[in-house]
Structure 1
Amino acid sequence: MIDTPKAPETSGQVFDAVKGNWVDSHAPAWTRPYLRLSRADRPVGTWLLLLPCWWGALLAAAETGTFGLRTLWIMIGCALGAWLMRGAGCTWNDISDRNFDGKVERTKSRPIPSGQVTVKQAAIWMVLQALIALVILLSFGKLAILLGLLSLVPVMIYPFAKRFTWWPQVFLGLAFNWGAILAYAAVSGRLSTAPFFFYFAGIAWTIFYDTIYAHQDKDDDAMIGIKSTALLFGDDTARWLRRFLVITVVLMGAGVVEALVDRSILALVVALGAPWAMGLHMTWQMTKLDTENPDMCLKLFRANRDTGLLAALFLAVSVFL
């Protein structure tokens, strides 16, 4: 029996996409369901996957005080790879969650539950994105290639984590921040403890922002039996988020000190601006947090692009000091 998609319930625009985004406005009609699977209409997730990669690459460059063409290519390659692998990961997530997404108000407009694409079409699209990303990865060196292949493990597990643990955000963090280690290895050709400090700082940051994000769906999640830190923390969410804020700042600061201890004092001080800038921006988010306001939760979640960019900016400046 041929698996044919149903007619979409709406024009196809996904509920939580930015209004007037380029996919809905300018992309050819036949590409839109696939671009929506990849969340191209919601680019913040690509930023959140990319920024730890840039942290790792910039940390390796700051460690030696050099920024060459290879580092530039690694950062460009990470940007392309983040777009592709975030798209492949989101497609895998939607395939895995196809029996849940139709029951959640915010996700029932996604391409699979709304009938814009079949599961088979989505699977082909997922593999295509992953293969193109692999071509980019092959230029990063043997150690980075190995690390890239290992990253597939948490990516594959994450969609199912919400079914067996109250901490699915940890699994998202494991997947989304692996680039800090991979990009460091690609630039430096080796590993040290410094990028692992960044990796675990990124996991704490992911728990912070994705808990805020998960508060949008907590009522639907509770009804259909999906777990999340938003449900686990409940009314204590603000207190938990402050803890992860502190963990993020401390671990990132430790990574900076570990990597730049032999560089100039000025380079070290400027690089330490990365965790402090993140901490200040996350503190600002806490002043705006209202877990009962889905619109505010989405706004704060999206603001974390700027949180991560601030860290990248300070690390970039420290390279040249």
Structure 2
Amino acid sequence: MRSLLGWTNPLVHAYLLGHVCEPGNLPDIKMLALFGCGSFLLRGAGCTINDLLDQDIDVKVERTKLRPIASGLLTPFQGVSFLGLQLLLGLGILLQLNSYSVMLGASSLLLVFSYPLMKRWTFWPQAFLGLTFNWGALLGWSAVRGSLDPLVVLPLYASGVCWTLVYDTIYAHQDKDDDLKVGVKSTALRFGESTKEWLSGFGVACSAGLALSGYNADLGWPYYICLTAASGQLAWQIYIVDLSNRADCNRMFVSNKWFGALVFSGILLGRLAT
């Protein structure tokens, strides 16, 4: 999973925008469509950047050796050309937003282009992924309001980073043996046998941040019911995942769509109930 300008999957940005619709109303459909299209285009661009920078590593890792550039299906020039098209279309989406959001989106470029290199330098690339992915916590608010409310967006941003640390550490456990051979780093290697304890801490911080953000945004009671269910889903996956089994790690990673769906539903219902 990769992102550009902080746009992650449409569900995440739908629930970010749920914070900024008027009480008793649904989020703006045009804005949801823009963020959905931006997510589709710019997640893909992030993947292309990652594949271009990591082609020397991908070819040595079992799970990634068949990626288009690593396998030779596409040349680096073709990859760069495709990236240019993705970025051009993504820029068209970004320019539909207000000037504050355009500047805010552009300011994430350093994170976007540096993240794929972090696994070479630090055991915390998942933290940098979280900082990049969840830039949408800032953009989702600013796209509607034209500014930021730190009491709402900062806890939301921090909770998103913690969520990313949970699911991407689980994801990274699929590659830990290959990573050791290649010499790249991850939180899966950093945490080792203590992974579930670390993930539990990040899970608690994620839920607490979402609760604080919802409280500061004056969301109604349905939000907290859905947040409780989402927190339960997060706890379940941390407890049940077999970190030595690649297939199970991937299954738990994919299950995070339900966490996102529950939070999205909670914010939407919580806003309608106010």
* TM tier, smaller: over 0.9
1:116 and 2:76 correspond: no
TM-score under structure 1 length normalisation: 0.80
Name which of 236, 244, 249 aligns with 1:297.
Answer: 249
1:58 aligns with 2:15: no
Deviation at 1:48, TM superposition (A): 5.2
Match of 1:313 among 251, 265, 269: 265
Q: Give the superposition deviation at 1:47.
A: 9.7
Letter in 1 for 2:135: W
- Maintained 8 Å contact 1:53/1:177: no
Aligned partner (choices 158, 169, 194) of residue 236 of structure 1: 194
Name the structure 2 match of 1:87.
44
State whether structure 2 residue 12 is matched by structure 1 residue 67: no
Q: Secondary structure in 2 aligned to 1:139?
A: coil
- The answer on 1:154 being equivalent to 2:144 is no
Match of residue 269, structure 1, among 213, 217, 221: 221
Query: Hey, what does 1:125 align to over in structure 2?
Result: 82
- Asked if 1:171 corresponds to 2:128, the answer is yes
Please tell me whether residue 196 in structure 1 is matched to residue 154 in structure 2. yes
Q: Which residue of the partner structure matches residue 210 of structure 1?
A: 168
Give the conservation status (yes or no) of the 8 Å contact 2:51–2:69.
yes
Do the aligned partners of 2:101 and 2:143 also contact (CA within 8 Å) in 1? yes
Contact 1:48-1:308 at 8 Å conserved across structures: no
Which amino acid is 1:140 matched to? L
Contact 1:52 1:202 in 2 (8 A): no
Q: CA offset at residue 52 of structure 1? A: 3.1
The alignment yields a C-alpha RMSD, in angstroms, of: 1.8
Q: Distance in 2 between matches of 1:104 and 1:228?
A: 14
Equivalence for 2:63: 106
Structure (1 or 2) with the larger CA radius of gyration: 1
Deviation at 1:320, TM superposition (A): 1.5
Equivalent in the alignment of 2:239: 287
Distance 1:53 1:146 in 2: 18
Deviation string, structure 1 residues 111-167 (Cα, Å, up to 9, x no partner): 011111000110111111111011111112111111111122211111000011100
Query: 243, 248, 262: which one pairs with 2:206?
Result: 248
Question: How many Å apart are 1:277 and its aligned residue?
Answer: 2.6
Q: Tell me, yes or no, if the aligned pair for 1:55 and 1:180 is still in contact at 8 Å.
A: no
Query: Take 2:26 and 2:252, find their aligned partners in 1: how far apart are those partners?
Result: 33
What are the superposed Cα offsets for residues 173-218 of structure 1, whole Å, 9 maximum, x if unpaired?
0111111110111122221010121111000000000000000000
Whether the 8 Å CA contact 2:11–2:261 is kept in 1: the answer is yes
Q: Structure 2 CA distance, aligned partners of 1:125 and 1:316? A: 36
SS across alignment from 2:9:
helix
Aligned to 1:77: 34
> Take 1:315 and 1:87, find their aligned partners in 2: how far apart are those partners?
27
Equivalent pair of 1:172/1:206 in contact (CA under 8 Å):
yes
SS in 2 for 1:105: coil
Larger displacement relative to structure 2 (85-94 or 131-140): 131-140
- Which ranges of structure 2 fall in alignment gaps of 5 or more residues? none
Cα distance in 2 between the residues matched to 1:156 and 1:275: 33
Count how many residue pairs are aligned between Structure 1 and Structure 2: 269
Give the distance between the partners of 1:277 and 1:141, measured in 2 at CA.
35
| Amino acid paired to 2:179 | D
